[in-house]
Amino acid sequence: MPEKIDREEGAKGGGSSPSVSGVKGAFYLLLKVLIAALVAPLIYASTVAFGREVATLSGSVRLALAQGVLIYVFLKFFVYDFAHVYKFGQGLVTGLFQFLKPLVNVAPYLVPVYTMIALIVFAVLNATGKMGEWHGIFYALIAGTFAMHLILTAQDLYTKDTTPGKPTYFFGMGLVYIFDVFVLALIMNVTLPGFDFVRFFKILGGTCLGIYKVVLTQLFFS
């Protein structure tokens, strides 16, 4: 009899666990959806701010950046998907951050490692006066590797999120996008004359606050 009671109590206890787990899962899902909704204006604002700063650059620089992105897109869809190259880069970042446990899982998605490598080589050649006519090639490399990082990160996160509606994907990719645009803006502030990170940040802040203001006005004061 005691064994029967124990089994019944165990069954009851086991039955309550999935329920609690389901509530927690629903809560975290709702939280991610809400955060994703809050992040959406930041995504738009960072894109607008970055685009306006790029528009201030010289025509040759804009052409090199566009060529880098277009060449990567063409190669990915018609020649080679770069998945192994991307995974190798993630492995490098994981190795660099292996001693920082909180960051080791997210750093491979956040750090555009090949863009950083291109930037380091660019900085060394530029500082030593050996850049010559290679500026355009490095601008294209920076843009192309950055596009590769964003596209393949989005592809990876999208595949891993099996939840209907992909809320985890939108949440994670939104944060990755904003972080990486900030990183690229800082890189371009250092490497490209005319690109102003402070101005970029002001445009981003003004655009984002304007969106929040409109939304709050429509929700609570209309």
210 shares a domain with 162: no
Number of structural domains in the chain: 2
Q: What is the mean pLDDT of residues 144-165?
A: 91
Separation in Å, CA 193 to CA 48, 54, 98: 19, 11, 35
204 shares a domain with 124: no
Residue 175 lies in a domain: yes
175 shares a domain with 93: yes
Residue 140 lies in a domain: yes
110 shares a domain with 216: no
Residue 111 lies in a domain: yes
205 shares a domain with 184: no
162 shares a domain with 70: yes
The letter for the amino acid at 181 is V
Give the CA-trace dihedral at 9, 12, 17, 22, to 10 degrees: -170
Q: What is the mean pLDDT of residues 193-221?
A: 88
Residue 34 lies in a domain: no
184 shares a domain with 202: no
Residue 13 lies in a domain: no
This prediction has a pTM of 0.80
Residue 155 lies in a domain: yes
Q: Look at residue 199 in the predicted model and tell me its pLDDT.
A: 95
pLDDT tens track for 29-74: 677 667 767 788 899 999 999 999 999 999 999 999 999 999 999 9
Q: How many helices (H) and strands (E) does the chain have?
A: 9, 0
Q: Look at residue 29 in the predicted model and tell me its pLDDT.
A: 66
80 shares a domain with 145: yes
217 shares a domain with 154: no
d(CA 220, CA 222): 6
220 shares a domain with 117: no
Residues near 137 by beta carbon (within 8 Å), at least 6 away in sequence = 64
Question: Taking all residues of the chain, what is their mean pLDDT, rounded to a whole number?
Answer: 84
d(CA 13, CA 36): 35
Q: End-to-end CA distance of the chain, in Å?
A: 67
Residue 211 lies in a domain: yes
Q: Look at residue 155 in the predicted model and tell me its pLDDT.
A: 94
74 shares a domain with 163: yes
Separation in Å, CA 196 to CA 72, 103, 175: 26, 29, 22
Q: What is the mean pLDDT of residues 142-160?
A: 94
Q: What is the mean pLDDT of residues 195-217?
A: 90
Write out the residue range of the structural domain in which residue 215 sits: 197-222
Separation in Å, CA 56 to CA 22, 39, 49, 115, 194: 51, 26, 11, 22, 7
Reference 187, options 136, 119, 139; nearest CA is: 119
165 shares a domain with 221: no
Give me the DSSP letters along 164-175.
TT-HHHHHHHHH
The first and second tokens of residue 203, run together, are 């445009």
CA-atom Rg of the chain in angstroms: 23
Residue 92 lies in a domain: yes
